[in-house]
Structure 1
Amino acid sequence: MKVLVAVKRVIDYNVKVRVKPDNSDVDLTNVKMAMNPFCEIAVEEAVQLKERGIASEVVAVTVGPKAAQEQLRTALALGADRAIHLETDEVVESLGVAKLLKKVVEDEQPNLVLMGKQSIDTDNNQTGQMLSALMGWAQATFASKVAIEGDTATVEREIDGGLQTLSLNLPAVITTDLRLNEPRYAKLPDIMKAKKKPVDTRAVADLGVDIAPRVELVRVELPTERQEGVRVGSVDELVDKLKNEAKVI
Structure 2
Amino acid sequence: MKALVPVKRVIDYNVKPRVKADGSGVDLANVKMSMNPFDEIAVEEAVRLKEAGQIDEIVVVSIGPAKAQETLRAALAMGADSALLIETEEAIEPLAVAKMLKAVSGEVEPGLIILGKQAIDDDSNQTGQMLAGLMNLPQGTFASKVELEGDHVRVTREVDGGLETVRLSTPAIITTDLRLNEPRYASLPNIMKAKKKPLEIKTPADYGVDIAPRLKTLNVSEPPVRQAGVKVADVDELIARLKAMGVA
- TM bracket (short chain): over 0.9
Q: Which runs of 5+ in 1 are unaligned?
A: none
Tell me, yes or no, if structure 1 residue 154 matches structure 2 residue 154: yes
Give the CA RMSD over aligned residues: 1.0
What CA distance in whole angstroms lies between the structure 1 residues aligned with 2:58 and 2:50? 7
Which range moved further: 224-233 or 105-114?
224-233
Match of 1:203 in 2: 203
Give the drift of 1:95. Answer: 0.3
Q: Secondary structure at the match of 1:144?
A: strand
What CA distance in whole angstroms lies between the structure 1 residues aligned with 2:85 and 2:68? 8
> What aligned pairs does 1:114-125 form with structure 2 within 5 A after superposition?
114-125=114-125
Number of residues of Structure 1 aligned to a counterpart in Structure 2: 248
Q: Secondary structure at the match of 2:141?
A: strand
Deviations 1:3-25 (A, max 9, x none): 01010000001111111110011
> What aligned pairs does 1:121-136 form with structure 2 within 5 A after superposition?
121-136=121-136
Deviations 1:142-173 (A, max 9, x none): 00011011011110101111111101000000
Q: Secondary structure at the match of 2:67?
A: helix
Deviations 1:26-80 (A, max 9, x none): 1111010000000000000000000111011111100001000010000000010
Tell me, yes or no, if structure 1 residue 223 matches structure 2 residue 220: no
Match of 2:246 in 1: 247
When the two structures are superposed, what TM-score results if normalisation uses the length of structure 2? 0.98
Give the drift of 1:211. Answer: 1.3
When the two structures are superposed, what TM-score results if normalisation uses the length of structure 1? 0.97
What CA distance in whole angstroms lies between the structure 1 residues aligned with 2:4 and 2:171? 11
What CA distance in whole angstroms lies between the structure 2 residues aligned with 1:88 and 1:53? 35
Q: Secondary structure at the match of 1:229?
A: coil
Deviating 4+ runs (over 4 angstroms)? none
What CA distance in whole angstroms lies between the structure 1 residues aligned with 2:140 and 2:108? 21
Letter in 2 for 1:98: A
Tell me, yes or no, if structure 1 residue 48 matches structure 2 residue 58: no
Letter in 1 for 2:61: V
> What aligned pairs does 1:96-175 form with structure 2 within 5 A after superposition?
96-175=96-175
Give the drift of 1:233. Answer: 4.6
Q: Which runs of 5+ in 2 are unaligned?
A: none
